[in-house]
Each structure stands twice: as structure tokens, then as C-alpha cells.
Copies of this chain bind each other. A is one copy, B any other.
Amino acid sequence: MSFESFLVHDKLENYEDPVKYNKDWLPLVEKYRSDLADATSEEYKIKLPKPIDTLIAEQFNPLDYLYKEKLLTKEEFAITDSSATDLAAKIAKGDLTSVEVYKAFAKRAVIAHQFTNCALELFLDEGLKRAEFLDDYYKKNGKTIGPLHGVPISLKEQMNYKNKITHGGYVSQLKHIPTEHGVTIQILENLGAVFYIRTNQPQTLMHLDSNNNLIGLSKNPFNLLLSSGGSSSGEGSVVAFGGSAIGVGSDIGGSIRGPSAFSGCHGLRPTTKRVSLHGGVSAGAGQESVGAVAGPMARSIDDIDLWMKTYINDGKPWDLDHASLPMPWREVPKPAAKDLTIGVMYDDGLVRPSPPIVRGLKDTVDKLKAAGVNIVEFKPIRTKEAYETVHKMYTCDGNYMQHKLLSESGEPLTKLTKWNLNYGDGSKAYTVAENRELNVVRDSLRHEYTEFLVNNKIDFILSPTYNNVAPKSEEVYNWSYTSLFNILDFPTLVFQTGLFQDPAIDKWTEEDLKYEFRSELEKLENSSYKPDEFIGAPIGLQLSGRRYFDEEVVAAGKTIVDILKADLFKH
């Protein structure tokens, strides 16, 4: 079974236009790349130990290298390995300045970028000026400007940034320069955040990976051979590497959760309409069958809580975006283990998890049980129907908008763009009546899952984020574990287990090798896991709750990470 044999609906012949692209657009792409190279501060740059291609081939772990080689000072490590919650508190008390904090993160972000290719845009001088402004403000007023005063925050590039190119991974949008910030960036700025890096994302924003015609692939900070995930690809790299205190991603099929799980940080896909998406580039304008969301990625669950709480309660997105719900972020205390009932979905019935994921899930369940959590098995409910339905939702405009955004420049289509444009019925333009039928299926799924959880008093579903740890770049096809919770619109937290792939133990067993694949997709996915090629990949899992029980999901996430001792700041 080959990748190409899946591409049945649409040969995608009317997208690319090499002549137009090379003549009209490639010069803009080259300018964009050279601007990025110029912006990669010489002050902070390190000398790579070997050429990057060699490091990639060798499955180099740049995070290990960072610590071993002490590429930061002790003070810089102390800052960048603090939670945003602690940093904000220290800045507010006057124990740290915004500039100190900023410089440490800027340095670590530049190193992250050198190894992982996470940044689409760096604007370190602007970041410094902003940090200086905040320190001045603090000095003059004796107080912070807001609860995120001085916190360095990385941004997925897709969100409109005032007076900066915002392309969303589409070459055709290199001419799109918004005149104002998207609402979420505006709110974070109002709260006191410092911006200095905008991060990579794939063409179409619809890969669990990162390739595009701008700067290409982002890499995993624990193993450069592997992908950092996507579509919030660069956020995964930079946050897990420690180059920003909190990152902002977005997710319509797994785009916050894939990068978080793969790259080695935590990430929240909130329920829809709690975080504003107003002002940004995507093919989804007016699409509401499966809602996109924005949400935080961080190395501490406390920081996810901090971000959501301050963003919602202080930022009041509903005053700037009619679509955001005026639903305050509730203070939900960290639950005791014994008060939690978690349904575990070991396998979604579509694609079998690989050995490290099986181990990660088993180990987690054992520790949770030992701590007193009530664990029950959660048998997948209509997962195949859910997967087929959400795929149809992704393309049911017949890829009208994707085609418009891609063909305008005639840019070459990447491998996974070809894959996702063939989701569902590919280029078939659905009628409104057909789209509504998909919505009815979706609603019946939501109803059934909700009823099951309520009637069985199950608080959360624990599941793999993906059937594997971080895949090799451009070898990630299956979204079934993540997109399930998009069609359900269940808030879902990816948390790290603190475990990493180990080639010595995470092997297919004899029995595994006799397994009869349930589908060609499963075969394709399972075949790509070869233990020796995934060394040290983080093992992250998913915790999902009912719609709008985001606070409970995050609070339970804290309890779980405590039990697992999966604190990401310990090195």
C-alpha cells in the first residue's frame, strides 16, 4: 500500500502553475527567507556541532545538547526553565525585569530555531523594545500593565499581526499585511505579553506536520529526524525547547495536540468559541461544521490555566469578537485522584497504537490506578463514522477555498497537501443539504458521547493523541485520535507522561507482527514505526472532557501530571 494509492478523488491538476510561480512568487519567497535569515540574531546564534543535515540523520537531541553544553548561563536557564506563572509573579514583585526575562527567552528561541527551523519570523529588536517599555511602565506606575506583563509568548504565524506579512502557509498570502492585530494577539498584548517570534505551519494548515514552500519542515526538539507535528508546528518546537514561556496554536483536527504530544509539551484544545479566532488566514471562513479553535501550549499545566484564565477573565474576548462566549474561566480546584473517573480508550478501532504509545498508556493507567483514580475502559463509539464524517467536513466545499488560496500563486503542492485535499469526497462540492446531513451525524455523535459520559458518570476520556510518537517528517497520515475530539468539540488536553521512546523496549512483539490490519491506513501507519528511528521521542497523551468543561480538564491534567511526575522543567 503506497501513499499515492490513497489519492483517488482528485488528481489536483488545476492547482500548480510553475511558470507563474517561478516568475511572480518565488522572488517574494526568497525575499521572505532572506529576511528571516537576517533577523536571526548574530548575538544569540550558536555554532551548530555539525551540519544540520548530519544532525537530522543522526537523530540529534538538541535539548540534551543545550543542557550538556550549557549554551545558556545559569541565570538564563533559571528563567527559561521557570513557568510563566512564576515569571509573571516575579516580574510583578520586581524580582525580575521584563528585559532580563525577554533576553533569556530570545536567546533560547534563536537556538531553537537554528536546530528545529521553528520560526517564520523573528523580530527580536521589537521584542526588546516592548520589554523595555514594560519595565519603564512598571517603574513609573509601580505596577504591571496586566497579568501577563513581561511574559514572552510565541505566536502561530496564521494569526493577523499588525503591519507584518501574515500568510498562513500560503505563498499567495505573502502580500497580505493586516492593518490590525487579530483579536487574540490584541488581547495578549493588552495583558502585557512580549512578542518576538511567529512560528511555522504547513501549507493549507491541514497537516499534522509542517511542510510548506516558505521555509519547509520544522523538526522535533528531542530528535531532529522526527517531525515537530503540525499544524502548530513551530509552536511545538519552540515551546518544548523552552524558547517561549507560552505558545499560541490553533486546532481543527489535531493542530495543537499533535505538536504538543510530538514535540514534548502540554497543549489545550479548548472548546470552540472560548478563544477568539477573529483576524487570521485560513481556508475556513464561514465554515462551522467542525470548529477551529486557538489555544495555549506550554511546559506546565499551570501555565495553560494561567493563559486561559487571564485571556478570558481579563481579556474579555467577547468585547472584541461577537463570536467569543462571555463565559468566565472558572476556578476549579485540582481534584483528588480518588474523585476522578477516567475512561481509557486504548485503541480507537481504526489504527493500532505503536509500542511506545501502548507502553505510555499502560504506564500512565498503572500509576493513576495506584494513586486511586477510578479507571474504566472506554470502548470506542462510532469512531469510523466520526472519522469519515469529519473528513467530509474538511473538504465539503469541494476545496473551493483551498484551491483559491493555493492556485493564486500556483505554488507546488507538498505531499501532505495532496493527502488532505483528498479527504472525504475531495473536490466534490457538497450542496447545503448534504452539508447539513453531516452536521446531523455530528450532533448525533455528540449526543451519544455526552449521554454515555453522563449516564456512566465518567469524567474524562484518556486516549492516545496519535497512533505513534512523533512521526518522521511527512509520514503522518492518520488524524483519527485527535479529530474525534474536534467533531465532538470536546476540550482536550495533551499532557506529557514524562516517558520517551526507548528502542530497546518499544518493539513490536512477535504477536504484534502477526496482526491482521483492519485497513490500508492502519497498515500504512503501523509500517512506518521502526523502533530505531524514533529514539527519545516524547510520549504525550490526551485527556478529553465534555463540551465547556475545559476548566475541569485542565484541573484534572494537573492532578495527572503530578501523579506522573511529568514536570517538564526538570532536566
Q: Which of A322, A437, A438, A548 is most buried by chain B, counting CB atoms within 10 A of its CB?
A: A322
Decide if B397 touches A450 in the complex (CB within 8 Å). no
Restricting to A275-327, which residues have a CB under 8 Å from any CB of B? 278, 285-289, 318-319, 321-323, 325-327
Q: Contact check: which of B401, B433, B437 meets A433 at CB < 8 Å?
A: B401
Decide if B288 touches A432 in the complex (CB within 8 Å). no
Restricting to A204-230, which residues have a CB under 8 Å from any CB of B? none
Query: Smallest distance from the beta carbon of A260 to chain B beta carbons, Å?
Result: 25
Query: Smallest distance from the beta carbon of A133 to chain B beta carbons, Å?
Result: 26
Chain B positions within 8 Å of A438 at CB level: 286
Complex: A318 Cα to B552 Cα, angstroms:
15
Decide if A397 touches B443 in the complex (CB within 8 Å). no
Decide if A433 touches B397 in the complex (CB within 8 Å). yes
* Residue A430 interfacial (CB < 8 Å): yes
Decide if B447 touches A285 in the complex (CB within 8 Å). no
Binary flags per residue of A514-546, CB closer than 8 Å to B gives 1, else 0: 000000000000000000000000000000001
* Residue A398 interfacial (CB < 8 Å): yes
Complex: A308 Cα to B326 Cα, angstroms:
17
Query: Smallest distance from the beta carbon of A425 to chain B beta carbons, Å?
Result: 11
Decide if B401 touches A439 in the complex (CB within 8 Å). no
Query: Smallest distance from the beta carbon of A539 to chain B beta carbons, Å?
Result: 30
Say whether, besides A278-B447, A321-B447, A446-B323, A432 and B429 are in contact (CB < 8 Å).
Answer: yes
Restricting to A392-431, which residues have a CB under 8 Å from any CB of B? 396-398, 400-401, 429-431
Decide if A430 touches B431 in the complex (CB within 8 Å). yes
Decide if B548 touches A436 in the complex (CB within 8 Å). no
Chain B positions within 8 Å of A396 at CB level: 432
Decide if B286 touches A437 in the complex (CB within 8 Å). yes
* Residue A19 interfacial (CB < 8 Å): no
Decide if B443 touches A547 in the complex (CB within 8 Å). no
Say whether, besides A436-B286, A438-B286, A440-B286, A397 and B431 are in contact (CB < 8 Å).
Answer: yes
Binary flags per residue of A472-506, CB closer than 8 Å to B gives 1, else 0: 00000000000000000100000000000000000
Query: Smallest distance from the beta carbon of A340 to chain B beta carbons, Å?
Result: 19
Binary flags per residue of A433-474, CB closer than 8 Å to B gives 1, else 0: 111111110010011011000100000000000000000000
Complex: A345 Cα to B120 Cα, angstroms:
48
* Residue A549 interfacial (CB < 8 Å): yes
Decide if B397 touches A326 in the complex (CB within 8 Å). no
Complex: A397 Cα to B437 Cα, angstroms:
11
Residue of B nearest to A395 (CB): B432
Chain B positions within 8 Å of A321 at CB level: 447, 450
Say whether, besides A287-B436, A435-B286, A439-B286, A547 and B429 are in contact (CB < 8 Å).
Answer: no
Chain B positions within 8 Å of A435 at CB level: 286, 432, 435
Chain B positions within 8 Å of A400 at CB level: 431-433
Decide if A429 touches B433 in the complex (CB within 8 Å). yes
Decide if B398 touches A431 in the complex (CB within 8 Å). yes
Q: Which of A278, A325, A435, A438 is most buried by chain B, counting CB atoms within 10 A of its CB?
A: A435
Complex: A326 Cα to B327 Cα, angstroms:
9
Residue of B nearest to A403 (CB): B433
Decide if A398 touches B286 in the complex (CB within 8 Å). no
Query: Smallest distance from the beta carbon of A12 to chain B beta carbons, Å?
Result: 18
Residue of B nearest to A439 (CB): B286
Decide if B446 touches A322 in the complex (CB within 8 Å). yes
Chain B positions within 8 Å of A286 at CB level: 435-440, 443
Query: Smallest distance from the beta carbon of A390 to chain B beta carbons, Å?
Result: 15
Complex: A549 Cα to B443 Cα, angstroms:
26
Chain B positions within 8 Å of A429 at CB level: 431-433
Say whether, besides A286-B440, A447-B321, A548 and B432 are in contact (CB < 8 Å).
Answer: no
Say whether, besides A327-B325, A431-B432, A432-B430, A548 and B318 are in contact (CB < 8 Å).
Answer: yes
Complex: A322 Cα to B446 Cα, angstroms:
6
Chain B positions within 8 Å of A434 at CB level: 432
Chain B positions within 8 Å of A433 at CB level: 397-398, 400-401, 429
Complex: A278 Cα to B440 Cα, angstroms:
11
Query: Smallest distance from the beta carbon of A563 to chain B beta carbons, Å?
Result: 27
Chain B positions within 8 Å of A431 at CB level: 397-398, 400, 429-432
Residue of B nearest to A442 (CB): B286
Decide if B548 touches A326 in the complex (CB within 8 Å). yes
Complex: A285 Cα to B446 Cα, angstroms:
15
Binary flags per residue of A89-112, CB closer than 8 Å to B gives 1, else 0: 000000000000000000000000
Query: Smallest distance from the beta carbon of A322 to chain B beta carbons, Å?
Result: 4
Query: Smallest distance from the beta carbon of A276 to chain B beta carbons, Å?
Result: 11
Chain B positions within 8 Å of A278 at CB level: 447
Say whether, besides A437-B286, A439-B288, A443-B286, A397 and B322 are in contact (CB < 8 Å).
Answer: no
30 contacts between A and B (CB under 8 A): A285-B436, A285-B440, A286-B435, A286-B439, A286-B440, A287-B436, A288-B289, A318-B547, A321-B450, A322-B443, A322-B449, A322-B489, A322-B546, A322-B547, A325-B325, A325-B327, A326-B548, A327-B327, A327-B548, A396-B432, A397-B431, A397-B433, A397-B436, A398-B431, A401-B433, A429-B431, A429-B433, A430-B431, A430-B432, A432-B435
